[in-house]
A = this chain, B = another copy of it.
Amino acid sequence: MTDPIDSTFARLRIRVHFGEALMLGPGKADLLELIGTTGSISAAGRAMSMSYKRAWSLVDEMNHAFQTPLVESARGGPKGGGAHLTDTGQAVLDHYRKLEDITAEAGAARIGAIRDLLKDVSDGK
Residues of A within 8 A of B (CB): 9-19, 21-22, 24, 64-68, 88, 91-92, 95-96, 98-99, 102-103, 105-107, 110-111, 113-115, 117-121
> Given A103-B106, A114-B96, are A21 and B67 neighbors across the interface (CB < 8 Å)?
no
Contact A110 B118 (CB under 8 A): no
Listed by A's residue number, 23 A-B pairs whose Cβ atoms lie within 8 Å are A10-B17, A10-B18, A11-B16, A12-B14, A12-B15, A12-B17, A14-B14, A14-B103, A14-B107, A16-B111, A18-B121, A19-B121, A21-B118, A21-B119, A21-B121, A64-B119, A67-B120, A95-B110, A96-B110, A99-B107, A102-B107, A103-B106, A106-B107
